[in-house]
Amino acid sequence: MIYTITFNPALDYIVRLDHLKTGTINRTEQEYILGGGKGINVSIVLKNLGMDTTALGFIAGFTGQEIVRQLNSFGVRENFIRLREGLTRINVKVKASDEETEINGRGPIVSNFELQELYTQLNSLTADDTLILAGSIPSSLPSNMYEIIMERLANKGIRIVVDATKDLLTRVLPYKPFLIKPNNHELSEIFGIPLNTTEDLINAAHTLQSRGAQHVLISMAGDGAILVAANGTVYTSPAPSGTLINSVGAGDSMVAGFMTGYTKTGDLQESLYWGIAAGSASAYSENLATLPEVEKLLKGIKG
C-alpha cells in the first residue's frame, strides 16, 4: 500500500476572470472548488493510475468533509483524523488574464492528542508499504515533523518519499529517504547558488546523496527530468510536447507516476518515464493526470 500524508489540506476556491480590479466588485467567468494538498494530489493520481493508496492527515469541519467527498468520488481510500475543532482551510486563487493572486488560509490547530492518533496509524505500516511525505507543515505542529516521523519508522524498512523544500527536505536526509524530488529551482535555493546546467544539477544530487538521500528525482518543467539513482547512475527523460494549462499538481503527479512505474516494474528508467508522463499529463490539463493521458504520453516519450 502507498500512503500519503497531507498535514495541511485545503479546499482551493479557484476563480477566473478577465481582469482583477481591487477596491471594487469583480465578477467571475469561471469558478470551481477542488480539494488540494500535495499528498492528496499524489493519492488521486496514484488511484487514477490504478494503484492502491490511502490518504492520511488531518481534516476539520464541513470543508474537510468536502475533501473526503471529492476523494471518494475518485475512489481514493482515506483515513483522515477528524479534528474536534476548527475548519480545514480554504485557499482563494484568483486567475486573471494579466495576473494571479492567492490568499491561503491558516488551517485548524492540531492537538497533541490528535497527533498521537497519527503516530498510532503509522505504527501499523510495514516493509511492504510506501509512505509519501509531501507539502508544508502547519504552524500548530513541530517544524521538524518529517524528521520525527522518519525517526519513528527508521527500523521498519518502509520506503519513504519526501517532496518538500529547503530545510524541510535537507533535515530528513540523515534518515535515508528512498526518494526525494526537488525541482531545479528548489535545488538552487538549497545550495544558495544558480544551478544552470545538467552537470550542476547532477553534482547537487550527488551532494544530497552524500548526506543520506537514496534516489534523487529532479524535475525541470519543460526541460524534462533527471534521476540520479542510489548507485550513481544518471537517467534522463525529455518532457513530451504539449501546451501548459495548469502547473498546479504537476510535481505531485510526477511523484505518483514515478512510484507507479517503480511498483509496476522496479526499473528506474521506466519509473522516470512514468513520472515525467504523469507530471506532463497534469500540466497539460485542467485536471490531474489520468491513465489514458499518461499512457498516450508514454508512447511519445519512448518513441
| 107-126: burial string, b at 16+ Cβ within 10 Å, e else | bbebeeebbeebeebbeebe
Residue 74 C-alpha from the chain's centroid: 17
Question: Which residues are identified as catalytic?
Answer: 252
Residue 184 amino acid letter: N
How far from each other are the two terminal CA atoms of the chain, in whole angstroms?
A: 32
Length of the chain as a residue count: 303
Strand residues in 99-172 grouped as ranges (E): 100-104, 130-134, 159-163
- Give the closest residue to 111 by CA, choosing from 103, 122, 119: 119
The three grid cell numbers given for residue 74, joined into one nine-digit string: 475518485
β-bridge mates for residue 130, sequence order:
2, 159
3-state secondary structure of 56: strand
HSE (side-chain half, CA atoms, 13 Å) at 106 = 7
Phi-psi region of 249 (alpha: psi -120 to 50; beta: other; left: phi over 0): left
